[in-house]
Amino acid sequence: MPYQPFDLGGKVALVTGGNGGIGLGMAEALAQAGASVIIWGMNPAKNAEAKAQLEATGQRIASEIVDVADEGAVIAAMDKAVAEFGRIDTVIANAGVGGGAPFAEFPTEQWRKVMAVNLDGVFFTLREACKHMKTRAEAGDPGGSLVAISSTSAIHGAARNQAYGAAKGALCSLVRATAVEFARYGVRCNAVLPGWTVSEMTQSAQENEKFNRQVISRVPFRQWLEPKDFGGIAVYLASDAARFHTGDSIVLDGGYTIF
């Protein structure tokens, strides 16, 4: 018999940026483990394709066009998700953008765009999730799992990526504070720090021979992570097996940051 705490049957998960990359890898694993899944994304075609892929699991799937940098859009979409599904048990704030430049010439507009999506967007998303989970707990149904997708850029220096690293580092602090405050409602909050992962954001680096030779060669596994590699941690954090795991920053990078 399978280990029952990993069964997500009856649970509902929401994944922002769930129409591709790490988000889709996590969403698919959650659905395969029995959860109903809602994905948020900005690209209608990618949303539709991801929704069809997830529906092959046999679970209930929904997709919404949501700009997480838009506070009103996040509030409305979270309210809609709760109304349609009755509850949200897991929220994975994964939506993010890149945007590097030499620091001495770093455009203020670019800095603010990175912060708006990678930090403000996570703040809006997790805040609205906390409102729902607190209300549910006060009605006698405590529990919930919040996950912020940070980056190893939060803990090591990444030249030309000060905005990205600053936003991702801030998420780790946001997670720890939220974990302490909402534990009384049975809500857990953790961060996942991915290493070099195959995605649209890293496409140019994947195709750069010098980058692969000088950077990916430093990953002990000597290869890029793939979105599917994040399915296990998504299911674990959403599951009852992780009911006392909170306030953590979980590095998943093939050993890159310790080598």
d(CA 142, CA 133): 7
| Helix/strand/coil for 178 | helix
- Straight-line distance from the first to the last Cα atom of the chain, in angstroms, rounded to the nearest whole number: 38
Measure the CA–CA gap between 78 and 68, rounded to whole angstroms.
Answer: 11
Residue in the structure block whose two tokens are 């290493």: 195
* Cα 87 to Cα 82: distance, rounded to the nearest angstrom: 5
Which residues are catalytic, by number? 164
| Angular region, 218: left φ>0, alpha ψ -120 to 50, beta rest | alpha
State how far the Cα of 143 lies from the Cα of 110, in Å rounded to an integer.
37
